[in-house]
Chain A
Amino acid sequence: MASAPGIHAHGLVREFKNVHAVQGIDLRVEPGEIYGFLGPNGAGKSTTVHMLTTLLPPTAGTATVAGFDIVKEGPKVRGAIGAALQEAALDPYLTGREHLRLQASLHGLRRAEREERTAELLHRVGLTLAADRKIQTYSGGMKRRLDLALALVHKPRILFLDEPTTGLDVQSRNALWTEVGRLAKDEGVTVFLTTQYLEEADVLADRVGIIDHGRIVAEGTPTQLKAEIGRPTVEATPRESSQLTAVEEVLGRFGEFTQASPGAVAVMLDGKGDLADVVRALDAASLRVDDLRLHAPSLDDVFLAKTGRKLEGEEDSA
Chain B
Amino acid sequence: MNLALHDVGVIAWRSTRRNLRQPAVVFVPLAFPLILMVVNSSGLRAATHLPGFPTKSFISFFLPFSFIQGGLFAAMTAGTDLARDIDTGFLNRLALTPLRGTGLLAGQIGGAMAQALVQGIVYLAAGLALGVHFKSGPAGMVVLVTLALLVAAAWASVGIWIALRTGSGEAVQSQFPVLFFLLIISSMNMPRNLIAVHWFRVAATINPVSYMIEGLRSLVIQGWNAQALALGFGIAITAVAIAMTLASFALRQRMART
Contacts and interface: CB of A to CB of B under 8 A. Distances in A.
Given A74-B258, A78-B97, A94-B18, 14 more contacts: A54-B258, A55-B96, A57-B258, A70-B258, A81-B96, A83-B96, A87-B88, A91-B18, A91-B90, A93-B22, A98-B14, A102-B10, A106-B99, A134-B21
A108 B98 contact: yes
B89 interface: yes
B97 to A, nearest CB: 4
Given A71-B258, A102-B14, A78 B88 contact: no
Interface string A131-156: 00010000000000000001000000
A246 B93 CA distance: 63
Interface string B217-243: 000000000000000000000000000
Contacts of B198: none
B90 A105 contact: no
Interface residues of A, number: 32
B178 to A, nearest CB: 27
A22 to B, nearest CB: 15
Contacts of B85: 89
A57 B256 contact: yes
Interface in B4-29: 6-7, 10, 13-14, 17-18, 21-22
A108 to B, nearest CB: 7
A75 B13 CA distance: 24
A53 interface: yes
A94 B256 CA distance: 26
Contacts of A106: 7, 10, 94, 97-99
Interface residues of B, number: 25
Contacts of B90: 89-91
A81 B257 CA distance: 14
Contacts, number: 71
B interface SS class:
helix
Interface string B126-156: 0000000000000000000000000000000
30 contacts: A55-B92, A55-B95, A55-B256, A55-B257, A56-B256, A57-B256, A71-B258, A72-B258, A75-B98, A79-B98, A81-B96, A85-B89, A85-B93, A87-B88, A89-B85, A89-B88, A89-B92, A90-B88, A90-B90, A91-B90, A93-B21, A98-B14, A102-B10, A102-B13, A103-B93, A105-B10, A106-B97, A106-B98, A107-B98, A108-B98
A32 to B, nearest CB: 22
A55 B256 CA distance: 6
B3 to A, nearest CB: 8
Interface string A44-67: 000000000111110000000000
B98 A78 contact: yes
Contacts of A103: 93, 97
A304 B95 CA distance: 37
Interface in B86-125: 88-90, 92-99
A172 to B, nearest CB: 20
A70 B256 CA distance: 12
A113 to B, nearest CB: 15
Contacts of B10: 102, 105-106
A14 to B, nearest CB: 11
A95 to B, nearest CB: 9
Contacts of B21: 93, 134
A94 B98 contact: no
Nearest to A56: B256
Contacts of A77: 258
B92 A54 contact: no
Interface string B37-48: 000000000000
